[in-house]
Structure formats: C-alpha cells, structure tokens
Amino acid sequence: MKNILLTILLIFIVLPFIQAQDDEDAFKIREIYDQVLTEGKCYGWLEYLTKTVGPRLSGSPGAAASVEYGRQTFNAMGFDTVWLQPCMVPHWERGKPASARIVNSSTLGTKELNVIALGGSGNSGSIGVSGEVIEVKSIDEVKKLGSKVKGKVVFFNRPMDPKQIKTFSAYGGAVDQRVHGPREAAALGAVGSIVRSMTTRIDDVPHSGVTYFKDGIKPIPAVAVSTNDANLLSDLLKTEKIRVNVQTDCKWLEDKLSYNVIGEIKGSSHPNEIILVGGHLDSWDVAEGAHDDGAGVVQSLEVINVFKELGIKPKRTLRCVWFMNEENGQAGAIAYADWSNDLNERHIAAIESDRGGFTPRGFTTEADDAVYKEKLKLAKRWEPLLTPYGLTIGTGGSGADVTRLKPQMGLLFGLNPDSQRYFDYHHARNDVFEAVNRRELELGAAAMSALVYLIDRHGL
Amino acid sequence: MKNILLTILLIFIVLPFIQAQDDEDAFKIREIYDQVLTEGKCYGWLEYLTKTVGPRLSGSPGAAASVEYGRQTFNAMGFDTVWLQPCMVPHWERGKPASARIVNSSTLGTKELNVIALGGSGNSGSIGVSGEVIEVKSIDEVKKLGSKVKGKVVFFNRPMDPKQIKTFSAYGGAVDQRVHGPREAAALGAVGSIVRSMTTRIDDVPHSGVTYFKDGIKPIPAVAVSTNDANLLSDLLKTEKIRVNVQTDCKWLEDKLSYNVIGEIKGSSHPNEIILVGGHLDSWDVAEGAHDDGAGVVQSLEVINVFKELGIKPKRTLRCVWFMNEENGQAGAIAYADWSNDLNERHIAAIESDRGGFTPRGFTTEADDAVYKEKLKLAKRWEPLLTPYGLTIGTGGSGADVTRLKPQMGLLFGLNPDSQRYFDYHHARNDVFEAVNRRELELGAAAMSALVYLIDRHGL
C-alpha cells in the first residue's frame, strides 16, 4: 500500500514537477541564446577595448585606461555595487623592439631573425650580447650541459607537438622552456636565450609571453623566435657554429598600483552563495589582446547583461570580475582570493573564460578533491539541457584567475572553446579584434550565461 | 555444457580478437592523424588551387585550368587509374560588376548599394532597369501580390535566423528567396530583383549564389545586397517610396564541355565495393573558392595520400572525385551518378566535404529509407574510436554531389565541420586562402581518412 502511494505521488506530483522544471530551464536557456545572438553587446565592448583602449600590459597607461573603461562600463550595467580592488603589479617595459642577428654564418652571412622580447627579459645594453648558440630541447638538457653554457646563447627549440588534438596539451608540453628556460640558462652563465615560439603554426610571427627570473639571478636578454626562423637556425646549426647578437631594450620599473574591476548583484534568497564570472583585463603589449583575454572579459560582462535584459533576478550573488595581471604575476587573482578567503566567503562556482573567443564546446572543471566528484556529478546533470548547444561538462581545469578559490569548496569552471586557432594568435601581434568572430564570441557568452542561470536556479 | 563452451569460446577467443581489432583500429587512426598533422599536403594543394588557379566557375577558363590541375595532381598520386569524365555545363558570365542605385530618396538622394549579381541573373542593358522597390519576406508574399509586382523591383529581405545554432539550418530557412525568388517575381512581371545576402553577419559584403529561371521566363536582373544595405533599404521603405536602378552585365553563353576529375585505387579483395571521397572543383567567380569548396577537394585527395604514405592497401575500391558544376547545375554530379548507376556499380559509402574547412565535429549521413537505420547503426559502432578526435556520426544529409548515389543503397556522409563562420565567406569575395586555417583543414582531412579506413577495413 505504501509503495502504491509512493508510486502515485511520484507519477502525478513529483515527475510533472521535475518535467516542468526541465521545460522551464530549456525555455530560459533558449531565451538566453536568443538574447545574446540577436542583442548581445560583447562584440561592441570588445571593439572598444581592443581598438580604443588597445594593449594593456600591467603597469602601463593602457592598463590604467582599461581599468577606467571597466569601471565606467560596469557602472552603466545596473550592478548593486561596483568597486576597484587594489593590487600591486609588476611593471616591465619592452622598450624598442628586440633583435637577434646571426653574425657569422658561412652560408648566410649576417641575418636578422624574427624575434620578440619575452615578458620579463633583461636588458642587453646598446650593443647587445653576443655568443655562440647552443640548441637544446629541454631544461634538463641545459642542466646537463652545466658550465658549457657559460657565455653562450641558449636556444630552446622543442616544438609544440602538432599531433596533439587539443592544442592546450601541446602548449602545456612545451611552455616550460619559455617560462623557466632563460632563468635556468642564466643561472649557468648563459648571456642570452632564444626560445622557439609557442605555436604549431610554421610562420614568421614570434609569440611573446612571460619568462620568470628570480632573486639572485640577473635577467638575461630572452627572446622568442618565429617557428620559421627556429627551423632555419636549427638547420644552420647542423652544419656550422653560429654566433648571434641579441639586443633587448627592456626595463624593470617599480611595482605599480593597479586594480581588479568588480561588479556585484546581491542574491535575493542565497546572498552568501557567490557565483563568479570573469576573465583577465591585462594583455601583452604587442597587440590588442582580443582573444587573450578581451574575449573573456566581455563575455563575462555579457552574462550580467543577459540577466538584466531578461529580467532574471538572481537568487544567489553574481559577481563579475575583470582580473588584473594574469599575464605576468597574477597579482589580481592573488589579491581577490586573499581578500575573499579572509572574509570566509563561499564561491559555489567560478567560471573563467581565458582560452579565446572561439566556438564553445562546453566547460572544463576542477575543485578540491574532497568535493570534486560530487560537484561534477551535480553539474553533469545539466548536460542534456546544454547538448543542443554543442556543450559538454568535463574535467580539465578552470582558469589561472579563479583556481585560487579552490579552498572555498566550490566548482571551478573554464569555458572550453575550440582550441585549434588559439595559438596562432596567442601573445602575438595578430591577436587583434579582426581575429575574433562575432558569432563565436557570442556563443561563448551565451554558454556562460546558460550555465550561470542553471547554477543560480538550482544551486551547486 | 554447450553454454559453458560458448562462454569459454567468447572469453578466450572472440573477445580478445575483437579487442585486438579495436586496438589496431585505434592505433591506425592515430597514425592517420599524425601523418596528416605533420606531413599533410592538402594545405599546399589548396594554396595552388586558390592562388594560382583561382576562381573557377563552370565554363570559365579558370574551371578548365582547375580540371587540368586536378588531372596533373591525380596523376602524381599513384592511383591505378585517373580519368576525366565529361559533362556539359552551363556557361554564365558575370560581366562588369553589377550595381543597384537608389535614385530618388528624399532622405539620401541617390545612393549606391553594395550588391553582386546572382549567378544566373539576366542582363539589364546599359542603362539598367528602374522600378519602385517592393519589400517582401517570402515567395508566398510575392505570389499574393500578383499583378502589383509588375514593373517593380522585388526586394526579398527575410534574414537568415541568427538564433539557429546550426547556421546551415538558418541558410536552409532563407535560401529559397535567392534560388527561386527572382524567377517568381519575373513570372509576375517584375523588372528586377534584389535579395538580402545569405549570411548572419551584418556587414557590407554581398554574397552571390545561384538563382534559377526556367524556360518561358526571361531572366531579369537579380542581385544580392549586403546585409547592412538591406537593413538601410528596409528602413528607408518604412518612410518613403524608393526607386532603384539595377544594372547587370551578365551573359548566358552556350553550354560547354567540362569534366569531373576521377582517380581510382582498385580494392584488393572487394573491388566491387566502392568508397568515394570528394568535393566540388568549381567555385563562384568572385573569389578563390577556398572554403567552397577548395577545402573539400584537397581534403578528399589527402585521404588518398594518407593511404599511400602509410602503405595501406585498400581492400575495397577507393575513388576520389572532384565534381564539376556543383554551384549552378550539378552537371558533374548527374553525369557521375548516371554513369555509375548504368554500370550497376555499388558505392557502399560516399563522403563529401562541402561545408568549409573548419574544425570537424564528425559526419552527417543519409541513405535510402530501406537501409538507413541498419547502415547508420553499423557506422555508429565506430564512434568510440572517433570520440578522441571530437567526432560523432549523426543524421543530417550528405552532399549535393553524392546524394544521387542513394539508389545504390550505400551510406552517404557529409563531413560536418563547425558551421559558425561558413556563411561569413560563402559565395563572397572574402572566401580566400587566408580564410582557411591549416590545422582545421588538416583535421577535416584526417577525419575523412579515419572514416574511410574503418569502412575499408570492416565494410558497411
């Protein structure tokens, strides 16, 4: 009898209720996509951020302009609160364009290579540093060479593996050379370093990005070389010893005060449960930072715009954060996490977009081990609602700016777009507004909005 | 006892055998991807086809050049047989660029609109045709207007729906205006027709494409207008009557002899089971036909190259076909299907790539109703092998050139790439080599190669 009652309860009351919830979710997600694809504002914001504000490396006037642009744009958005969160950022300047010149090839004579200074590179002085080139494929190889590296220019030339289907895996498998290679070479007495650009594309465009030195090791001139010229240099080295002259005009200046831009809408019924959307406002100085990460910041603001335009009052607190200094220090991410952790805040979810404005495939996730399995299972319930939009929810990390929120035991997401073109533009002069496709950008914003809607409605 | 024996048989003999087969498939598919992503030739072929051969509309010298380029390239590929299959193609020429000028706006005075003649448009004579503009959203609406259309210029302005996630669905929902609209307007006495470009992008680039007249209806001047100018014209029409002068210099010439380019490798054990890969060689005359369909033809040839480079001897007959005249008549597709059906050939599968060289998501399929369910089920067995490469096998049609092979009861596939950017370039001046990304193109070729490998090995 009890079973019969339960069955009746299930069939006539609970199931229709669940069904109605699902239908409402599906309906609302459709509304969200319609809104973004027909009335979205993110493409226009991106145009302003890239074309009018332009490059915005931490500490630069451009970065200050981007903060002010963020503040003004957030203020016009109807947040409950908008504020600037201070953080001290490193201030490095590129100066005049770097050069690397082969000076003694018996085949080619002298030849300029297509290079760009790495962020954090030392200054070569006006006549540059000169040395014989030693090609290596790994940091281990440099360490094994030991004192043989002294006085030399170390050339890191392990390519990103084009056979990887996910280009971020290929990047992860090669980028240690750029981030740590020049420092390890400098520690052993190298006078300069040349690093193969982090891209699978074979072309003449060099790709910058951060390289870290540390206290006690004086930064040496460190440049990235285009893949075409990396191959040329490697070919030459098979037949003769090559000397290069490397010139960099980089300067390290005093740390500077900068800011994260933050806007908040207080949740109506669960104000202590925070859902964060964000990207990073700073970019490298060599281009407009359109994919990295102009796309991410404007997509995250579109989420707020969608809620406003559709009249959805969030039950939980929505926070949009444009982080400062992701590229070379993560001072903004650290300031935010420290502040939030100190307040014992609880981010039930944080979604970062920092993999380019390409057609979204879904979200990758991470969380503290103690809760990850359970949280991921909860999120994956929503997959059927996202499948019509080509989205899945899987493993694979979140983003550099939100990963520090892990101790708050929420689920951290990274928007996961098609990755095939990202490293064609990453940290290079061609990362400009024109490289971003409007529909792809908007689909990413709609995907984030749909996910935030589901988390806000059902909790996580 | 019998059950125990069967169980033993299953566990110790059949299962390991199936497992080994799966492992070999996975290994071979990995080899195929490695080959294409590191040694693929399709990008180089595409560069030649787009930059050196260039535009290649049926009947044009460019089309003849493309056939000869195909013949030479196929001959260098190690096919058992290469041949040209004749077909008579329509020969239409654009002549001088078309124009459409607003002549009497009280707001704007005279104003040139961004237009392009539709393929098949009539000739306006030197002073053009002039008439009042009537805006409609559908062919039905024109029919209802009836004799009111006489002497007018009919403006078809139903947009592609940007809310559709799959852009081909949006195209399918709007393209009848371009293909049939001008004819229906002409039948009712309209002097000219302007059709909103088939794209979701709002910009100044007009998109051409075929429009069909028929015997007894004289082709009128018919142009596509950019989406920006379609919106402008529509806005003007809300406030005043607008007259336009439309000028086209198009010519219909005698049908011309042209060819499909075909290469064949005979199957070693099932030569009568044919697997076709192909795309169409012709393109519109306004650009390089890089995505439409240079990408498809070079991807299909890459499949053959992969088999050759990896030393895979096909058990079944592989045929690569570069079809002529897909854009305005499908004479090549008809010639091929008629010839093959007459010979009682049996294509167990045919795979067309004609949706642009973007990151592949898998394949769509179709077949005769009598076999579709069974064949699709067979193909879907392979999905687990394709998942690591982001591919699925689903419904949704094949391609205009292979769909006529349906009576042979095989499974017909269309490569299914990400569709978000396709209609930014489709039939427009920006469909050039530079719009194609090397990795995306290669991933499509690898996907096709993997599928052909599976069909060849296991049958279908």
| Structure-block tokens of residue A277 | 């959307």
Contact (Cβ atoms closer than 8 angstroms) between residue B403 and residue B342: no
| Nearest partner of B441 among B244, B295, B335, B333, judged by Cα | B295
Output the pLDDT for position B440. Answer: 98
Residue B14 lies inside a defined structural domain of this protein:
no
Residue B307 lies inside a defined structural domain of this protein:
yes
Q: Which residue of A has its CA nearest to B386?
A: A165
Mean pLDDT calculated for residue range A179-198: 98
Mean pLDDT calculated for residue range A267-289: 98
A161 at B interface, C-beta within 8 A: no
Looking at the structure, do residues B111 and B85 belong to the same domain, yes or no?
no
Work out the minimum CA distance from B363 to partner chain A, whole angstroms.
15
B421 at A interface, C-beta within 8 A: yes
Looking at the structure, do residues A265 and A242 belong to the same domain, yes or no?
no
3-class state of residue B52 by DSSP: helix
Q: Which domain CATH number covers B307?
A: 3.40.630.10
- Please list, in sequence order, all residues whose beta carbon lies within 8 angstroms of the beta carbon of residue A387, skipping any fewer than 6 positions away: none
Output the pLDDT for position B156. Answer: 98
pLDDT band at A3 (very low <50, low <70, confident <90, very high): low
Residue A403 lies inside a defined structural domain of this protein:
yes
Q: What is the DSSP letter of B406?
A: G
Looking at the structure, do residues B229 and B261 belong to the same domain, yes or no?
no
Q: Which of B163, B418, B424 sits opposite A34 (nearest CB)?
A: B163
Looking at the structure, do residues A297 and A374 belong to the same domain, yes or no?
yes
Tell me whether residues B165 and A389 touch, CB distance under 8 A: yes
Report the residue of A167, A291, A439, A441 to disrupt the B interface, i.e. the one with the largest count of B CBs within 10 Å: A439
A424 at B interface, C-beta within 8 A: yes
Residue A64 lies inside a defined structural domain of this protein:
yes
Residue B5 lies inside a defined structural domain of this protein:
no
B chain contacts of residue A34, beta-carbon cutoff 8 Å: 163
Output the pLDDT for position B243. Answer: 97
Residue B9 lies inside a defined structural domain of this protein:
no
Whether the pLDDT of residue A172 is over 90: the answer is yes
pLDDT digits (tens, 9 = 90+) for A297-334: 999 999 999 999 999 999 999 999 999 999 999 999 99
Report residue A79: phi and psi, to 5°: -65, 155
Burial (CB count within 10 angstroms: exposed 0-12, middle 13-18, buried 19+), residue B143: middle
A229 at B interface, C-beta within 8 A: no
Looking at the structure, do residues A407 and A305 belong to the same domain, yes or no?
yes
Tell me the C-alpha to C-alpha distance, in Å, between residue B245 and each of A324, A387, B225, B236, B271.
55, 48, 13, 16, 59
Output the pLDDT for position B3. Answer: 66
Whether the pLDDT of residue A211 is over 90: the answer is yes
pLDDT in tens, chain B (460 residues): 566 666 666 666 666 556 666 799 999 999 999 999 999 999 999 999 999 999 999 999 999 999 999 999 999 999 999 999 999 999 999 999 999 999 989 999 999 999 999 999 999 999 999 999 999 999 999 999 999 999 999 999 999 999 999 999 999 999 999 999 999 999 999 999 999 999 999 999 999 999 999 888 999 999 999 999 999 999 999 999 999 999 999 999 999 999 999 999 999 999 999 999 999 999 999 999 999 999 999 999 999 999 999 999 999 999 999 999 999 999 999 999 999 999 999 999 999 999 999 999 999 999 999 999 999 999 999 999 999 999 999 999 999 999 999 999 999 999 999 999 999 999 999 999 999 999 999 999 999 999 999 999 999 9
Looking at the structure, do residues A307 and A323 belong to the same domain, yes or no?
yes
Q: Which of A163, A359, A389 sits opposite B38 (nearest CB)?
A: A163
Q: Which of A34, A162, A440 sits opposite B38 (nearest CB)?
A: A162
Output the pLDDT for position B19. Answer: 66
Whether the pLDDT of residue A85 is over 60: the answer is yes
B chain contacts of residue A388, beta-carbon cutoff 8 Å: 165
Buried b (16+ CB within 10 A) or exposed e, A158-185: bbbbbebbebbebbeebbebbbbbbbbb
Whether the pLDDT of residue A241 is over 60: the answer is yes
Contact (Cβ atoms closer than 8 angstroms) between residue A261 and residue A67: yes
Residue A19 lies inside a defined structural domain of this protein:
no
Where does a domain end: A215, A249, A283? A249
Residue A317 lies inside a defined structural domain of this protein:
yes
Looking at the structure, do residues A321 and A396 belong to the same domain, yes or no?
yes
Looking at the structure, do residues B320 and B300 belong to the same domain, yes or no?
yes
| Separation between Cα atoms, residue A369 and residue B280, nearest integer Å | 52
- Please list, in sequence order, all residues whose beta carbon lies within 8 angstroms of the beta carbon of residue B140, skipping any fewer than 6 positions away: none
Output the pLDDT for position A22. Answer: 79
Average pLDDT, chain A: 96
Contact (Cβ atoms closer than 8 angstroms) between residue B420 and residue A437: yes
Looking at the structure, do residues A310 and A440 belong to the same domain, yes or no?
yes
Whether the pLDDT of residue A8 is over 90: the answer is no
Whether the pLDDT of residue A459 is over 60: the answer is yes
Burial (CB count within 10 angstroms: exposed 0-12, middle 13-18, buried 19+), residue A418: buried
Where does a domain end: A208, A228, A249? A249
- Please list, in sequence order, all residues whose beta carbon lies within 8 angstroms of the beta carbon of residue B216, skipping any fewer than 6 positions away: none
Output the pLDDT for position A233. Answer: 98
Work out the minimum CA distance from A408 to partner chain B, whole angstroms.
33
pLDDT digits (tens, 9 = 90+) for B318-353: 999 999 999 999 999 999 999 999 999 999 999 999
Considering its fold, how many domains does chain B have in total? Answer: 2
Conformation bin of residue B219: beta by default, left when phi > 0, alpha when psi is -120 to 50 = beta
| Structure-block tokens of residue A387 | 């499948």
Looking at the structure, do residues B194 and B274 belong to the same domain, yes or no?
no
Residue B116 C-alpha from the chain's centroid: 20
Looking at the structure, do residues A261 and A375 belong to the same domain, yes or no?
yes
A44 at B interface, C-beta within 8 A: no
Whether the pLDDT of residue A15 is over 70: the answer is no
pLDDT band at A214 (very low <50, low <70, confident <90, very high): confident
Contact (Cβ atoms closer than 8 angstroms) between residue B410 and residue B460: yes
pLDDT band at A17 (very low <50, low <70, confident <90, very high): low
Contact (Cβ atoms closer than 8 angstroms) between residue B197 and residue B206: yes
Tell me whether residues A438 and B388 touch, CB distance under 8 A: no
Q: How many Cα atoms are found within 13 Å in the side-chain-facing hemisphere of B361?
A: 19
Mean pLDDT calculated for residue range A224-241: 98
Q: Which domain CATH number covers A123?
A: 3.50.30.30
| Nearest partner of A40 among A300, A288, A254, A387, judged by Cα | A300
Please tell me whether the interface predicted TM-score (ipTM) of this complex is above 0.90: yes
Looking at the structure, do residues B87 and B106 belong to the same domain, yes or no?
no
| Structure-block tokens of residue B400 | 């205009």
pLDDT band at A14 (very low <50, low <70, confident <90, very high): low
Tell me whether residues A389 and B443 touch, CB distance under 8 A: no
Return the sign of the alpha-carbon dihedral for residues B318, B322, B326, B327: positive
Q: Which of B37, B165, B438 sits opposite A390 (nearest CB)?
A: B165
Where does a domain end: B199, B227, B249? B249
Q: Which of B359, B390, B439 sits opposite A200 (nearest CB)?
A: B439
Q: Which of B200, B389, B443 sits opposite A439 (nearest CB)?
A: B200
Output the pLDDT for position A215. Answer: 83
* Partners of B244 in beta bridges: B102, B131
What range defines the domain where residue A398 resides? 27-92+254-458
Three-state SS sequence of chain A: CHHHHHHHHHHHHHHHHHHHHHHHHHHHHHHHHHHHHHHCCHHHHHHHHHHHHCCCCCCCHHHHHHHHHHHHHHHCCCCCEEEEEEEEEEEEECCCCCEEEEEEECCCEEEEECEEECECCCECCCCCEEEEEEEECCHHHHHHHHHHHCCCEEEECCCCCCCCCCHHHHHHCCCHHHHHHHHHHHHCCCCEEEEECCCCCCCCCCCCCECCCCCCCCCCCEEEECHHHHHHHHHHHCCCCCEEEEECECEEEEEEEEEEEEEEECCCCEEEEEEEEEEECCCCCCCCCHHHHHHHHHHHHHHHHHHHHCCCCCCEEEEEEEECCCCCCCHHHHHHHHHHHHCCCEEEEEEECCCCCCCEEEEEEECCHHHHHHHHHHHHCCHHHHHHHCCEEEECCCCCCCHHHHHHCCEEEEEEECCCCHHHHCCCCCCCHHHCCHHHHHHHHHHHHHHHHHHHHHCC
